[in-house]
């Protein structure tokens, strides 16, 4: 699994933690009324899209991919007319505050920035009792191979060497003071390995 797909899955898993009974899946970033009609069969639900907007090379040889993340949240009226609106706003606010400055448990992701959220207002959806909210943000994700780790560190059998063998060393010295006293002294200079 690539890093982008893994990152998207971590966002999906995070939303499932926020809303354990919610149907959460990925989508390709585009949706229309037919998609919403299909998704309303599983309300409340969320659909997560991760789209690359641009990438910049870094000194490590990796690409810093600026990802555009879009989460569509859908609910419908349940008990009274238009009660889906308040639940949709609540979901939008919860996901937006959760996403802000979140790395989503991915070690190569930067904290999410530029969180935006809105409710989509459309008369056809409103008449059908469907409420749609969208949360969008940008996350940087380092992808590719870090050439600095390969170039500047010692590797053995495909693993980075983090410990080296140590030796024991003792220094024996003869000391004479200005008062005419003398003696031998031994000092242990074995380096400490953390």
What is the tens place of the pLDDT at every residue in 131-166? 888 999 999 998 887 777 666 677 778 787 877 777
* 70 torsion bin: left (phi>0), alpha (psi -120 to 50), beta (else): beta
12 in a domain, yes or no? Answer: yes
26 in a domain, yes or no? Answer: yes
- Whose structure tokens read 């940087």? 140
15 in a domain, yes or no? Answer: yes
Give the CB-side neighbour count of residue 189, counting CA atoms within 13 A.
8
pLDDT of residue 97: 94
CB of 128 within 8 A of CB of 135?
no
167 pLDDT above the threshold of 80: no
CATH number, domain of 35, equals 3.30.2000.10
50 pLDDT above the threshold of 80: yes
Number of compact structural domains in the chain: 1
133 forms beta bridges with: 73, 119
pLDDT more than 70, % of the chain: 90
Model pTM greater than 0.85?
Answer: no
184 against 27, higher pLDDT: 27
β-strands 155-156, 182-188 pairing: unpaired
160 in a domain, yes or no? Answer: no
Q: What one-character DSSP code corresponds to residue 4?
A: H
Domain carrying residue 14: 3-148
Closest CA to 2 of 100, 108, 98: 108
Closest CA to 117 of 140, 90, 86: 90
pLDDT band at residue 59 under the 50/70/90 scheme? confident
pLDDT more than 90, % of the chain: 34
What is the tens place of the pLDDT at every residue in 76-125? 876 666 667 788 889 999 999 999 999 999 888 999 999 999 988 777 77
Give me the numbers of helices (H) and strands (E) for the chain, helices first please.
Answer: 5, 9
35's tokens: 């998609």
153 in a domain, yes or no? Answer: no
24 forms beta bridges with: 46
71 in a domain, yes or no? Answer: yes
How far is residue 84 from each of residues 73, 77, 119, 133, measured CA to CA in Å?
A: 11, 4, 12, 11
- The mean predicted confidence, pLDDT, of the chain is 82
10's tokens: 């971590």
154 in a domain, yes or no? Answer: no
32 in a domain, yes or no? Answer: yes
- Whose structure tokens read 């063998």? 165
- Poorest-pLDDT segment among 46-50, 56-60, 74-78, 148-152: 148-152
């Amino acid at each position: 699994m690539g890093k982008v797909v893994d990152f998207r899955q971590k966002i999906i898993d995070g939303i499932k933690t926020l809303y354990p009974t919610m149907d959460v899946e990925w989508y390709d970033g585009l949706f229309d009324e037919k998609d919403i009609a299909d998704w309303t069969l599983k309300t409340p639900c969320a659909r997560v899209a991760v789209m690359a907007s641009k990438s910049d090379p870094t000194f490590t040889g990796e690409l810093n991919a600026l990802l555009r993340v879009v989460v569509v949240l859908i609910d419908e009226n349940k008990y009274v007319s238009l009660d889906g609106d308040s639940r949709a706003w609540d979901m939008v606010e919860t996901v937006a505050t959760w996403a802000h400055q979140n790395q989503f448990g991915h070690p190569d992701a930067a904290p999410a920035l530029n969180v935006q959220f809105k409710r989509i207002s459309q008369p056809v959806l409103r008449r059908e009792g469907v409420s749609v909210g969208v949360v969008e943000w940008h996350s940087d994700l380092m992808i590719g191979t870090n050439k600095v780790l390969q170039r500047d560190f010692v590797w053995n059998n495909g693993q980075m060497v983090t410990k080296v063998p140590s030796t024991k060393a003792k220094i024996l010295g003869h000391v004479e003071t200005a008062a005419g006293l003398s003696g031998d002294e031994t000092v242990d200079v074995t380096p400490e390995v953390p």
